[in-house]
Amino acid sequence: MLIDRSTYFSCFFLLFLFITFSIVYNSSLIFAQLNQTQEFQIFKKNNNERFTFPYTASNQERQNSTEYKFQDPIQNDWILFINNNLTYSNNPEAKTVIQIKEPSPSEKFIEITMFGDESKQFFVAANTNDTGYMRLYENKENGWFADNPVVLTHANVQGLSVSNGKRTVIDKLSLNGFKIGSIDVYGKDESQLPDSASSGYVNFEVLSGNPSQSPLYYLPFIMIVGVGGLVIFLLVFKKRRQI
């Protein structure tokens, strides 16, 4: 049985994409699996830093939040990916609150709230010296998506942008600069409230400075080159067969 060459190369290209994704995300997947039994698993390379909060962080109260403190503050140009892989309790108040804070003594922070009931409520707030605490965005129905990361981007020139995984909900908000000093996670406003999560974890990844040093930066380019190469090959091959 003869296999058409175009079918062969289509299969080859799909295999190429699979290998590419595996190379880029393999360390992240291993990283996530290790965190089932460890409080923190940290990966640092160049301008890329990844770490995970276990589900128990969402069961802490506000005054006793779980904190990840950066050894060196992340300067003003950065991208933060948040992957919420939690299994929430059957409780309409079950939630995870993430506070991205500037180094002390600054009181500036960005707050992301992700509820776990069927509504998937999603809030974004900020606290600055000029305005105090202010809610910037709220969506009370399907506000975030378990399959897509929440993405925060900040640059000195463009300010803060936030994507809920499907679309940009905050675009180019000026915070007069923002350096990440630590990230706090909690889920209960008061200690007597029921736990928010029963299993899972929340993954964080920060790209700072020159993002081209991260393999994620090159993934779109690799895909474009691969798709373009396949299309050109099929066009040339089809033309030759017609001749």
The pLDDT mean for the chain works out to 81
* The two structure tokens encoding residue 57: 């962080």
Region 1-25 average pLDDT: 51
pLDDT band at 10 (very low <50, low <70, confident <90, very high): low
pLDDT of residue 139: 95
* The two structure tokens encoding residue 171: 């675009």
Q: Which residue has the higher pLDDT, 80 or 35?
A: 80
Question: What is the Cα–Cα distance from 48 to 206, expressed in whole angstroms?
Answer: 6
Per-residue pLDDT of 111-131, as tens digits, reads: 999 999 888 999 999 999 888
Question: What is the Cα–Cα distance from 185 to 188, expressed in whole angstroms?
Answer: 10
| 42-214 fold | Jelly Rolls (2.60.120)
Question: What is the Cα–Cα distance from 41 to 87, expressed in whole angstroms?
Answer: 19
CA-based diameter of the chain, in Å?
78
Region 135-157 average pLDDT: 94
pLDDT of residue 39: 59
Q: Determine contact, residues 211/79, Cβ cutoff 8 Å.
A: yes
pLDDT surpassing 70 at residue 227: no
Q: Determine contact, residues 153/145, Cβ cutoff 8 Å.
A: no
pLDDT surpassing 60 at residue 162: yes
| Chain centroid to CA 225 | 25
Q: Which residue has the higher pLDDT, 58 or 17?
A: 58
Q: Which residue has the higher pLDDT, 208 or 178?
A: 178
Per-residue pLDDT of 18-74, as tens digits, reads: 544 444 444 443 333 333 334 566 777 778 899 999 999 999 999 999 999 999 999
Question: Which residues make Cβ contacts (< 8 Å) with residue 174, sequence separation at least 6?
Answer: 159, 160
SS3 148: coil
